[in-house]
Amino acid sequence: MRTTYMAKPQDIKRSWYIIDAADRPLGRVATEAARLLRGKHKPEFTPHIDTGDHVIILNAEKVVLTGRKLEQKFYYRHSGYPGGLKKIDYATMLEKQPEKALYMAVRGMLPHNRLGRAMLKKLRVYRNNQHSHQAQQPQTWGANSDE
């Protein structure tokens, strides 16, 4: 009888990856990051276990949106009070808080439960190409690497 392999938390080996977001569409960068955080690139992927790796996204301020999304796409939040809906267009968001725009895009692609929140803790987003994780020896991931 064959059984399906299920990863155990103590057997998971985590790596660190760097994604360069410069001149790349926001959604493409976010899907790559979500895939790495979730662990879907590994053969031992298990849906109910956090098998993912740590992800560092650099150059968040240089990410692009295709089409007219800069003016037409909005980020909404609500205070919880009547009439408390706030909205900000992505042009303003990418100008003032590009890290938050990428963070929210990745967050929306992960499971919306405690497993997704645990995966999100392994994401680091930086405005430029400076980061403080050289000690972890991160590998580059993306268009210019050998995935």
Q: Is residue 93 part of a domain?
A: yes
Q: Is residue 50 part of a domain?
A: yes
Q: Is residue 65 part of a domain?
A: yes
What does the chain come to in residues?
Answer: 147
Compute the distance between CA of residue 136 and CA of residue 45 in angstroms, rounded to an integer.
22
Compute the distance between CA of residue 94 and CA of residue 77 in angstroms, rounded to an integer.
16
Q: Is residue 6 part of a domain?
A: no
Domain range holding 53? 14-141
Closest by CA to 16, choosing from 57, 60, 53, is 53
pLDDT on residue 143: 60
Q: Is residue 147 part of a domain?
A: no
Compute the distance between CA of residue 79 and CA of residue 68 in angstroms, rounded to an integer.
28
- CATH number of the structural domain spanning residue 83: 3.90.1180.10
Compute the distance between CA of residue 84 and CA of residue 27 in angstroms, rounded to an integer.
28
pLDDT on residue 144: 56
Domain count, the chain: 1
pLDDT on residue 2: 85
Average pLDDT per block of 10 residues along the chain, 147 residues long: 88 95 95 96 94 96 93 94 96 94 96 96 96 94 61
Structure tokens at 104: 């929210």
Q: Is residue 111 part of a domain?
A: yes
